A and B are shown apart, each in its own frame.
Chain A
Amino acid sequence: MNTEASTLKDLDAVRSMIKRHKLNDYLFGAVGLSFIILILLTLLVLFIDLIMDGYPKLMSWDFFSSFPSRRAANAGLLSALVGSALVMIITFVSAVPMGVAAAIYLEEYAKKNWLSEVIEVNVTNLAAVPSIIYGLLALGLFVYILDFGTSILTAGLTLGLLILPVVIVATREAIRGIPVAIREAAYAVGATKWQVVSQHVVRYATGGILTGVIIGMARAIGETAPVITIGALTFIAFLPPSPVTTSAPFLNFDWLWSGFTVLPIQMFSWLSRPGADFHVNAAAAGAVIIVVTLLMNGIAIKMRYNIRKKIKWQ
């Protein structure tokens, strides 16, 4: 009787504890959810505001196929769109192979000593350096010392440098996420280090690497400060020479040396105009930048999903 009563009492205590903890769980979930909603709402309101302000422009094809103009009605995004796309190609080509290779080296090959510690801390710090610093570095290095001028090549390399730490950090995180068992299994059947790294570690980490790359690229496409520092143009009413030609060798690299403008600079220049009609263009350009960024992120998520689906062990 006595023991039964105390057991019941204990049970009640446990039940109320569980109840309390569940309530805590629930409360934390609610707080977290409301923060997410707040963040998303802010973004959504900004985005909708931009779209509403820029609506008349976003609905006209001319806006995407015209060059800048002093008249807001004729001014379009064409040179900025092409400029951004070409700059992004250089950024991708320069930052991704180097960043991934550096991360693999640091993670798989480098000896863990004070030097690698220093490098690790510095790479992480570099990711947090304000972008204008990269602009100043690029102005000195690419524009003046290497004499690349204010070209697409310079801009692409500058933004490449800017996202290099992001790519390195993300790749290292992705590589660290691969279970040790996978490596050990590969070594056990006689694979060399290079085989383990290239056929297993990097392959399985591709999803995470891609996420890092796209986050970096999405950051690069919205950057204004470093591109202004190296001297991007504001009015450019022609396109760089085409990368593809009709005669042999079918590839043309003159565009690397061309002057350029990019989306955020075009938006910035429209925003600082006196006329209110230019602010419509600026809003539309802002909406385009957000859509491009979202698209890039969407592609990253889709690719990551597809890659993860193919990996058997997960």
Chain B
Amino acid sequence: MQFKLVQTLSVAAVVAAAFSSPTAFAADKIVKIDGSSTVYPVTEAVAEEFQKATKTKVTVGISGTGGGFKKFCRGETDISGASRPILQKELDDCKANGIQFIELPVAFDALTVVINPKNDFAKKMTVAELKKMWEPAAQGKVKTWKQVNPAWPDRPLKLFGAGADSGTFDYFTEAIVGKSKSSRGDFTASEDDNVLVRGVAGDTDALGFFGYAYYEENKNSLNAVAIIEKEGKPAVLPSKQSIEDGSYQPLARPIFIYVNATSGAFKPHVKAFVDFYLKESRPLIEEVKYVPLPAKDQAAVVAHWKALKPGTGFGGHAEVGVKIEDLLSRIK
């Protein structure tokens, strides 16, 4: 009540006389989207086409996966992009505010491990070797390539990676070290992937990781490392093919959109946008250098959307290498 009064008074103070109500704009049909910068290129492309096709207004912001969920669970946005599944704390927030959502995997991104083109000895790596480089115990100890693999030369090892606030960092550590956010701290970290690209491109002894799109755009100055999931398995390079057939493991990650489907707040134009997203996004996803879901998974996602089943398939914690079908069938 007191807040209401403060609010009214200050509105009156700020702009004195002629003033229409703040709800006038909100009543306008706008699809409000926020969230991960990883999902942003896909969502932006869909938003652009949807707005052209239907004249419905769409806005997209970049607050990061976590920042996006904060707004989403307060009911401020209609859709939130996420490069990792929703976590328990965020689930609690949504629940406290009575927000129900539908979790939709929309595409794949391949976290790509890259080296300098002049590096000719480390063209493939096992997950165990990557773990040796990145685990917290390596801090201050593992300083040369030789320490990771005796077959490699005795040269300094220089690491570049995503900053600790990003979903990319969370996923990489989960997949490689085995525990989310668990990593050595003595590497060059940046939220701006272009900084990492320049770092690895300019240093023969460097190794880094980031989303596939950044590798694809900088193929001339970087080499991707083929990843061996376990001893005995083949070395696999990230590509559309290897992501679709599931052989690029464990660094292929699904990216998601979460749609606010709270009854009463579920607006028709938001529904139309998601319909459009699922139907028209395939060529757009390829255009922005991500990998569309395999046809079978795509059909499962569409069916899941049509059934409007709320909830998450992850149970509030990150998980690596879940099949889309399994994921959707977990949501009852």
Identify the A interface with B (CB < 8 A): 68-70, 94, 145-151, 153, 157, 231-238, 241, 249, 251-254, 256-259, 269, 271-276
Q: Which residue of A lies closest to B288 (CB)?
A: A70
Is A253's CB under 8 angstroms from B20's CB?
yes
Q: How far is the CA of A148 from the CA of B14 in the complex (A)?
A: 12
Is A147's CB under 8 angstroms from B25's CB?
no
Chain A residues near B40 (CB, 8 Å)?
234-235
Q: Does B120 contact A (CB under 8 A)?
A: no
Q: Could you jot down 25 A-B contacts, CB within 8 Å?
A: A68-B44, A69-B48, A70-B45, A70-B48, A146-B6, A146-B10, A149-B22, A149-B26, A151-B25, A231-B71, A234-B60, A236-B60, A237-B58, A238-B57, A252-B20, A253-B15, A253-B18, A253-B20, A254-B20, A254-B24, A258-B25, A259-B30, A274-B193, A275-B217, A276-B217
Question: Which 5 pairs show the lowest CB-CB distances between chains A and B?
Answer: A235-B60, A257-B25, A274-B217, A70-B45, A274-B214
Chain B nearest CB from A158 CB (Å) reads 13
Q: Which of B35-82 contact A (CB under 8 A)?
A: 37, 40-41, 43-45, 47-48, 51, 57-63, 71, 76
Chain B nearest CB from A274 CB (Å) reads 4
Chain B residues near A150 (CB, 8 Å)?
61, 76
Chain B nearest CB from A283 CB (Å) reads 13
Is B19's CB under 8 angstroms from A253's CB?
yes
Q: How far is the CA of A238 from the CA of B48 in the complex (A)?
A: 11
Is A235's CB under 8 angstroms from B44's CB?
yes
Q: Does B34 contact A (CB under 8 A)?
A: yes
Contacts A235-B44, A272-B194; is A259 near B18 (CB within 8 Å)? no
Is A232's CB under 8 angstroms from B22's CB?
no
Chain B residues near A149 (CB, 8 Å)?
22, 26, 76
Chain B residues near A236 (CB, 8 Å)?
59-60
The residue that A254 contacts in the complex, of B25, B30, B60, with Cβ under 8 A, is B25
Q: How far is the CA of A150 from the CA of B59 in the complex (A)?
A: 12
Is B6's CB under 8 angstroms from A234's CB?
no
Q: Which residue of B lies closest to A253 (CB)?
A: B19
Chain A residues near B320 (CB, 8 Å)?
none
Q: Does B7 contact A (CB under 8 A)?
A: yes
Q: How far is the CA of A254 from the CA of B20 in the complex (A)?
A: 7
Is A274's CB under 8 angstroms from B6's CB?
no
Chain A residues near B216 (CB, 8 Å)?
274
Q: How far is the CA of A238 from the CA of B51 in the complex (A)?
A: 9
B 276-298 binary contact with A (CB < 8 Å = 1; else 0): 00000000100111000000000
Chain A residues near B194 (CB, 8 Å)?
271-272, 274
B 3-32 binary contact with A (CB < 8 Å = 1; else 0): 100110011001100111010111000101
Q: Which residue of B lies closest to A258 (CB)?
A: B25
Q: How far is the CA of A241 from the CA of B24 in the complex (A)?
A: 10
Chain A residues near B18 (CB, 8 Å)?
249, 251, 253
Chain B residues near A157 (CB, 8 Å)?
14
Q: How far is the CA of A223 from the CA of B113 in the complex (A)?
A: 34
The residue that B24 contacts in the complex, of A232, A257, A274, A275, with Cβ under 8 A, is A257
Q: How far is the CA of A120 from the CA of B25 in the complex (A)?
A: 41
Contacts A146-B6, A232-B61, A272-B192; is A256 near B217 (CB within 8 Å)? no
Chain A residues near B25 (CB, 8 Å)?
151, 241, 254, 257-258
Is A146's CB under 8 angstroms from B7's CB?
yes
Chain B residues near A69 (CB, 8 Å)?
48
5 other A-B residue contacts (CB within 8 Å) besides A231-B63, A235-B44, A235-B47: A70-B45, A153-B15, A236-B59, A238-B51, A272-B37
Is A234's CB under 8 angstroms from B45's CB?
no
Is A231's CB under 8 angstroms from B44's CB?
no
Is B6's CB under 8 angstroms from A237's CB?
no
The residue that B62 contacts in the complex, of A68, A234, A241, with Cβ under 8 A, is A234
Q: Which residue of A lies closest to B22 (CB)?
A: A257
Chain A nearest CB from B117 CB (Å) reads 17
Is B61's CB under 8 angstroms from A233's CB?
yes
Chain A residues near B44 (CB, 8 Å)?
68, 70, 234-235
Q: Which residue of A lies closest to B40 (CB)?
A: A234
Q: How far is the CA of A252 from the CA of B15 in the complex (A)?
A: 12
Chain B residues near A251 (CB, 8 Å)?
18
Chain A residues near B217 (CB, 8 Å)?
274-276
Is B15's CB under 8 angstroms from A256's CB?
yes
Is B20's CB under 8 angstroms from A233's CB?
no
Q: How far is the CA of A7 from the CA of B287 in the complex (A)?
A: 91
Contacts A271-B194, A272-B37; is A259 near B214 (CB within 8 Å)? no
Q: Does B213 contact A (CB under 8 A)?
A: yes
